[in-house]
Amino acid sequence: MGESRAVEELDRGYAEGGFTGAMTRRAEWWVANWPAPFGAPSYIKAGKNQEALDTLELGFEEHNPNMPYLSVLPIYDSLRNEPRFQDLLRRMNLPE
């Protein structure tokens, strides 16, 4: 489950689908090996916003202590207009 496994997943994903494939594999690896929401940024980079939102919802349900950063981290800018993202911020009492 270490760094070499993560690199293998990136390589495999890149071979299957270029950058998007690599980011998708990376997100899947994060989701399988770390608590939510750590896979969300890779899903965003892969252009898979719905999967990113699914991961963020799970992080909210698990009360992950990293969730309050959603309102300020630039990686989440592409989700800011998504109703699900806005609802998530409201439920956490964070500024939209």
Q: Which domain holds residue 37?
A: 3-91
Is residue 52 situated within a structural domain? yes
Judge whether residue 1 has pLDDT over 60: no
Contact between residue 85 and residue 60 where contact means Cβ atoms under 8 Å apart: no
Report yes or no on whether pTM surpasses 0.85: no
Q: Is residue 96 part of a domain?
A: no
- The tens digit of pLDDT for each residue in 16-58 reads 999 988 888 888 888 888 878 889 999 999 999 999 999 999 9
pLDDT at position 52 is: 97
CA-CA distance, 82 to 21, in Å (whole number)? 23
Q: Note the pLDDT of residue 95.
A: 86
Total number of domains constituting the chain? 1
> pLDDT for 73-93, tens place per residue?
999 999 999 999 999 999 999
16 lies in a domain? Answer: yes
